[in-house]
Amino acid sequence: MPGTQLRTVMTASGTSTPLLGTQYETAPFNAFVEIAMQTDATGVLATVYSGMDVLQEEGPVQLGTINVQPKYPDDYYLNDVIGQGEKLKINLRDTSGAIRTVMLTVKYTPL
């Protein structure tokens, strides 16, 4: 099952779309997608879309240890069924005014 682990370093008060332009932005087949995100401190908000579905309106990203990937299954609190060719979009926004690190993991399980 394909998946990716990304480490995104955000600028102070900046925004990021970590999957933009990667092969994991578009579902390669009909799949069950699981998403986990953690940040090193409070103040990072995430909005998550799976195709036309809104999985999370802008809301806080859970706290975790810096540079440690989220643990399966405990930290995988977002999931959805996504069709082949649909886009997975994650928007991150820092509200703390400091540089933040976000650890992101996406897993696609074929249906």
pLDDT in tens, 52-72: 999 999 999 999 988 888 999
CA dist list (Å): 106 to 2, 6, 11, 13, 109: 9, 9, 22, 24, 10
Classify 51 in phi/psi space as left (phi over 0), alpha (psi -120 to 50) or beta.
left
Residue 1 has pLDDT above 80, yes or no: no
| Fold of domain 3-110 | Jelly Rolls (2.60.120)
pLDDT confidence of residue 68: 86
Domain map (residue ranges) of the chain:
3-110
pTM over 0.85: yes
